[in-house]
């Protein structure tokens, strides 16, 4: 379920949007409240109150001037309402208030981005309630433990699929709006001479007027190309694979045989001295007899 409202923020051209999302999550009400408070902080919100639960997020990047196409970069206040709907189920209502938005509407992509972030908050809250085990030795670990107490391997939480969905949705939405805005600006810049010609009806007069006002179509086309380039760059970052920075930097200690089997190499040994030369018994006996005869003489 999703509802949205828009209202002008004072006498300026900026708008304030309200968007509501309702979900059902497993767990008791108070337990869900505590885990959602931790999930809010992980998503960059400052928890202002816990009963009722409220968080606030400041503007980021170009959203401070109202020129961002990413709805998640704008300053937002999130009120979370909780209601028990069963023995182990809780209904969660996320009430977003997005401030200082220059456009007077929320696009479908903006609504999908906010919905995906609400799902990510629930996924983060539920992940904190699940038991965790070390991937190396299988020992059970706590939520705040950074190293396994059994084998000492550095621990890292696996990335949630919902977090990746938020990233992809927000970047795809911002890229699409950049490309559309750039195309509109370029079209206006190219259609400016045609519009002057339709109004004047004289080729020479249109040429002189366009030459005199050349700055206007240049600004439109230049701004449009800048939007298109920004959209393509953001799309490239979106589809680029995210580097795995959560992998442990040191491998656990294991036996030499297991390490050799994993690496597929033979164990290296130090150089040994050459073996002594073995002489036949008859040759050794002959040498001894010759030495004894020489000694008797």
Whether pTM exceeds 0.75: no
110 burial type by CB count under 10 A (0-12 exposed, 13-18 middle, 19+ buried): buried
| Higher pLDDT, residue 144 or 65 | 65
The torsion angles phi and psi of 82, rounded to 5 degrees, stand at -120, 140
Q: String of b and e for 184-193 (b: at least 16 CB within 10 Å)?
A: ebbebbeebb
| Higher pLDDT, residue 248 or 112 | 112
Rounded to whole angstroms, the Cα distance separating 28 from 262 reads: 46
62: three-class secondary structure by DSSP: helix
Other Cβ atoms within 10 Å of 278 Cβ, number:
7
- pLDDT value of residue 78: 96
Q: What letter would DSSP give residue 27? A: S
* CA torsion through residues 236, 247, 124, 51, sign: negative
Which phi-psi region, left, alpha or beta, contains residue 243 (left: φ > 0; alpha: ψ -120 to 50)? beta
Q: Do the strands 2-8 and 15-26 form a parallel or antiparallel pair, or are they unpaired?
A: antiparallel
| Cβ 53 vs Cβ 37: under 8 Å | yes
- Asked whether residue 169 carries a pLDDT value surpassing 70, the answer given is yes
pLDDT above 70 covers what percent of the chain?
A: 64
pLDDT digits (tens, 9 = 90+) for 202-244: 666 666 776 766 777 788 888 888 889 888 888 887 777 555 4
Rounded to whole angstroms, the Cα distance separating 260 from 258 reads: 5
pLDDT digits (tens, 9 = 90+) for 13-32: 678 899 999 999 998 999 99
């Amino acid at each position: 379920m999703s509802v949205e409202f828009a209202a002008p923020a004072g006498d300026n051209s900026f708008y304030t949007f309200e968007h509501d999302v309702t979900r059902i999550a497993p767990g008791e009400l108070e337990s869900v409240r505590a885990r959602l408070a931790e999930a809010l902080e992980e998503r960059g919100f400052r928890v202002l109150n816990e009963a009722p639960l409220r968080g606030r997020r400041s503007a980021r990047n170009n959203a401070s001037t109202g020129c961002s196409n990413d709805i998640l970069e704008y300053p937002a206040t999130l009120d979370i309402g909780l209601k028990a709907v069963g023995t182990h189920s809780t209904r969660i209502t996320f009430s977003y208030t997005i401030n200082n938005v220059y456009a007077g509407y929320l696009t479908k992509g903006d609504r999908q981005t906010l919905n995906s972030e609400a799902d990510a908050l629930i996924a983060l809250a539920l992940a904190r309630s699940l038991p965790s085990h070390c991937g190396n030795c299988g020992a059970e670990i706590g939520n705040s433990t950074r190293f396994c107490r059994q084998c000492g391997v550095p621990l890292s939480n696996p990335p949630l699929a919902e977090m990746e969905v938020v990233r992809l949705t927000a970047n795809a939405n911002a890229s699409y709006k950049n490309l559309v805005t750039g195309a509109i600006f370029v079209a206006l810049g190219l259609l400016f001479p045609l519009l002057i010609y339709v109004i004047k009806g004289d080729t020479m007069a249109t040429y002189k007027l366009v030459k005199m006002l050349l700055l206007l179509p240049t600004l439109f086309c230049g701004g449009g190309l800048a939007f298109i380039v920004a959209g393509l760059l953001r799309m490239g970052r979106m589809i680029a694979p995210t580097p795995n920075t959560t992998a442990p930097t040191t491998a656990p200690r294991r036996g030499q045989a297991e390490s050799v089997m994993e690496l597929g190499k033979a164990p290296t040994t130090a150089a040994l001295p050459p073996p002594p030369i073995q002489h036949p018994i008859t040759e050794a006996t002959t040498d001894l007899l010759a030495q004894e005869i020489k000694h008797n003489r």
